[in-house]
Amino acid sequence: ISFNCVDSSLSSLKNCQSYINTGMDIATHVALDLVESFNDAEDVNSMENVMLEYAAMDRELNHYMRAIEETVNQIKRDKPENIPDLKYLVKEKFTALESKNSDSDLQRNEKYVYFKDQLKDMRKQFRLQSDTNDNDAIEQIDEDIAVTQSQVNFICPITQMEMKKPVRNKVCGHSYEENAILKIIQTRKQQRKKVRCPKIGCSHDDVKESDLVPDEALKRAIDSQNKQ
């Protein structure tokens, strides 16, 4: 049995998955734009619903591709004399996978988790600016202190300079200048050694490139502070 057509279909489905990922990236940036512009929470929440819809599409697509792959592998193992009903077998496996769906599946989607983390950080970073508009002159002193403390978080623990392209470690939550941490990882890799998180006091001792994600919220906060 030739599976060339099946392989071609799987390739097309994987392309669809890349479109979903792009859509989730765009939705994340739009949500961060809304927070930065101090838009209503309702507008931001609508983007979260969009993210959940994308996560559901991604889950369904993953289940369908898995159903196809498992069906093909089963046929290759069993080597039946007669050509089986591929459509029926795939649908049967797909239905079984979908029956186990739960809301928690969507909330564990990697890009949705990133969206929630960045949104939380963005709100925290820009809350100071929002509060400044409502504070009296007496409260402004405390506000200035808070801003100064916030600026400390803009400093890379490796270069000791303000970050221009921060990335965050998904494991320990600390951020670094992208080029600086990647250089350390590459050097340690050549030495066959693990990389300890450069943040003082952090116990995480195995920083990996795959654990690093762009810290868009922090970058926006730094850019906004510099504009002011």
Report the distance separating Cα 192 and Cα 141, nearest Å.
50
Residue 35 sits in the same domain as residue 108: yes
Q: Specify the pLDDT at position 2.
A: 67
Q: Specify the pLDDT at position 123.
A: 85
189: tokens are 């890799």
Low-confidence ranges of the chain (pLDDT < 70): 1-2, 128-152
Residue 62 sits in the same domain as residue 173: no
CB 106 within 8 A of CB 132: no
Q: Specify the pLDDT at position 130.
A: 52
Last residue of a domain, one of 129, 153, 188: 129
Domain count, the chain: 2
Residue 144 maps to a domain: no
Residue 204 sits in the same domain as residue 107: no
Residue 95 sits in the same domain as residue 7: yes
- Return the CATH number at 221: 3.30.40.10
Q: Specify the pLDDT at position 152.
A: 61
- Expressed as residue numbers, the domain containing 42 is 3-129
User: Whole-number mean pLDDT of the chain?
Assistant: 87
Last residue of a domain, one of 106, 129, 152: 129
